[in-house]
């Protein structure tokens, strides 16, 4: 484990922002993580814990230490005829875990195919797509408490999962580093194909026998058709959360905009697609120098190459302002600003 100085973070964030870390270290075990946290040369510095860098917007150079979590491993804790419990290192690539599960016919995460990032970051955000959230297959996680170096187990209830939310974004923020996650997966799949374009895509793929692999393939196809590959165009996927608004407000907007799509959350609240709002406000496909809004999906802000994090942040704020003015809705960023 070697601490490097003045390291470019361009390869470590999917926006491709060329910010510099004063100190940078990659850790492959809990012991290495403890060691760097307790090192007197670095323990009092500001820390940035890095997974896949796919939910991050770097707006400046980082003057502290960047700790890249590369703790790997997939371990079967227990299984029976119906279910299997997998303990997975925080540094494993999320999509590679999904493919592992699909190949072994372990059901539950197939709708979450091709979501960028690492396993350790997934519960922080309660990642979700196509009608499924990680909380539905989550059993528990282990996190290292920075102050004490002790490992604490968090149950599903203790994680306080919400829509793209968890305790790690609120009262536990900056206090713990997730080191592994345990998932409970099913050997008898229940298929979820009612959300988005999955059924339509399965039909176009001429799928006759539904399987978790077919669903995974369909989700991959949909995501690849709508979302730019970060290796080609810098982006962090969905930049904004889909806002949840009171039903009375939605009913008033629906009268004004009959085509406005929605998803009921409960009898009082409705979720509206942020991408639709942004497109209606005229932002889709707009380019401003080396940054812009993706031409196929207005929810995605992009760096065409050489764009600065502050420029993307300012663009996001202008979009928020225009949506507030046009619809009276406040968009919240899904991406974390550093």
Three-state SS sequence of 289-332: CCEEECCCCCCCEEECCCCCHHHHHHHHHHHHHHHHHHHCCCCC
pLDDT at 205: 85
DSSP label at 167?
Answer: G
Cα separation, 84 vs 100, in Å, equals 13
Q: Do residues 78 and 178 both lie within one domain? A: yes
Is residue 164 flagged as an active site residue?
A: yes
pLDDT at 193: 84
The CATH number that applies at residue 318 is 3.90.78.10
CA triple 128-153-36, angle to 5 deg: 95
User: If DSSP states are collapsed to H, E and C, what string results for 38-79?
Assistant: HCCCCCCCCEEEECCCCCEECCCCEEEEEEEECCCCEEEEEE
CA 68 to mean position of chain CA atoms? 17
- The answer to whether residue 192 sits within a structural domain is no
Domain span at residue 86 reads: 74-186
Cα separation, 117 vs 186, in Å, equals 23
Q: Do residues 49 and 100 both lie within one domain? A: no
Q: Which of the four pLDDT bands, split at 50, 70 and 90, describes residue 101?
A: very high
Q: Is 269 helix (H, G, I), strand (E, B) or coil?
A: strand
Last residue of a domain, one of 157, 186, 215: 186
- The answer to whether residue 201 sits within a structural domain is no
- The answer to whether residue 255 sits within a structural domain is yes
Is residue 223 flagged as an active site residue?
A: no
Please provide the distance, in angstroms rounded to a whole number, between the alpha carbons at the two ends of the chain.
25
DSSP label at 112?
Answer: G
The CATH number that applies at residue 17 is 3.30.43.10
Q: Is the pLDDT of residue 263 over 90?
A: no
* Average pLDDT, rounded, for the chain: 93
With contact defined as beta carbons under 8 Å apart, do 36 and 144 qualify? no
Q: Which of 113, 216, 238, 316 is catalytic?
A: 238
pLDDT at 190: 86
- Which of 32-36, 89-93, 201-205, 239-243 comes out lowest in average pLDDT? 201-205
- The answer to whether residue 17 sits within a structural domain is yes
Q: Is the dihedral of CA 335, 302, 52, 101 positive or negative?
A: positive
The contacts of residue 206 (CB under 8 Å, 6+ apart) are: none
Mark residue 171 as left, alpha or beta (left: phi above 0; alpha: psi -120 to 50; beta: remaining). Answer: alpha
Q: Do residues 28 and 79 both lie within one domain? A: no
Q: Which of the four pLDDT bands, split at 50, 70 and 90, describes residue 78?
A: very high
What DSSP letter does each residue of 232-255 carry, written as one string? TSEE-S--BPPPEEEHHHHHHHHH
The CATH number that applies at residue 112 is 3.30.465.10
Tokens describing residue 216: 């995974």
Q: Is the pLDDT of residue 12 over 90?
A: yes
Is residue 314 flagged as an active site residue?
A: no
Q: Do residues 63 and 133 both lie within one domain? A: no
- The answer to whether residue 103 sits within a structural domain is yes
Q: Is the pLDDT of residue 265 over 90?
A: no
Q: Which of 110, 164, 223, 311 is catalytic?
A: 164
pLDDT at 108: 95
Last residue of a domain, one of 49, 69, 89: 69
Last residue of a domain, one of 156, 186, 216: 186
- The answer to whether residue 202 sits within a structural domain is no
The pTM of the full predicted model, rounded to 2 decimals, is 0.88
- The answer to whether residue 203 sits within a structural domain is no
Percent of the chain with pLDDT over 90: 79
Q: Is the pLDDT of residue 64 over 80?
A: yes
Number of domains in the chain: 3
Q: Do residues 30 and 113 both lie within one domain? A: no
Q: Which of the four pLDDT bands, split at 50, 70 and 90, describes residue 186?
A: very high
The phi, psi pair for 151, rounded to 5°, reads -90, 130
Q: Is the pLDDT of residue 165 over 80?
A: yes
Per-position b or e across 240-270, b if 16+ CB within 10 A of its CB: bbbbbbebeebeebbeeeeebebeeeeeeeb
CB atoms near residue 209 (< 10 Å): 5
């Amino acid at each position: 484990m070697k601490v490097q100085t003045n390291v470019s973070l361009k390869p470590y964030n999917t926006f491709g922002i060329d910010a510099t870390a004063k100190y940078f270290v990659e850790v492959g075990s809990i012991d290495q993580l403890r060691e760097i946290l307790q090192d007197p040369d670095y323990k009092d510095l500001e820390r940035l814990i890095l997974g896949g860098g796919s939910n991050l917007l770097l707006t400046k150079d980082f003057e502290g230490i960047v700790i890249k979590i590369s703790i790997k491993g997939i371990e079967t804790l227990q299984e029976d005829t119906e279910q299997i419990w997998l303990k997975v290192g925080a540094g494993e690539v999320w999509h590679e875990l999904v493919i592992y599960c699909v190949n072994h016919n372990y059901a539950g995460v197939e709708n979450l195919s091709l979501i960028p990032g690492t396993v350790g970051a997934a519960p922080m955000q309660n990642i979700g797509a196509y009608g499924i959230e990680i909380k539905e297959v989550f059993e528990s996680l282990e996190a290292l408490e920075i102050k004490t170096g002790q490992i604490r187990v968090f149950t599903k209830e203790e994680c306080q999962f919400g829509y793209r939310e968890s305790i790690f974004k609120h009262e536990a923020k900056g206090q713990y580093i997730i080191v592994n996650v345990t998932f409970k997966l099913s050997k008898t799949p229940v298929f979820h194909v009612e959300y988005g374009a999955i059924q339509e895509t399965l039909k176009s793929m001429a799928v006759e026998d539904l399987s978790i692999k077919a669903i995974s393939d369909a989700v991959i196809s949909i995501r690849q058709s709508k979302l730019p590959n970060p290796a080609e165009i810098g982006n962090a996927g969905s930049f904004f959360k889909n806002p949840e608004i009171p039903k009375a407000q939605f009913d008033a907007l629906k009268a004004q905009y009959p085509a406005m799509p929605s998803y009921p959350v409960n009898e009082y609240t409705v979720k509206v697609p942020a991408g639709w709002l942004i497109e209606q406000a005229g932002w889709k496909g707009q380019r401003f120098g080396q940054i812009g809004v993706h031409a196929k999906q207005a929810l995605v802000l992009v760096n065409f190459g050489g764009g600065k994090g502050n420029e993307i942040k300012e663009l996001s704020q202008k979009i928020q302002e225009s949506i507030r003015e046009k619809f009276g809705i406040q968009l919240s960023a899904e991406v974390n600003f550093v």
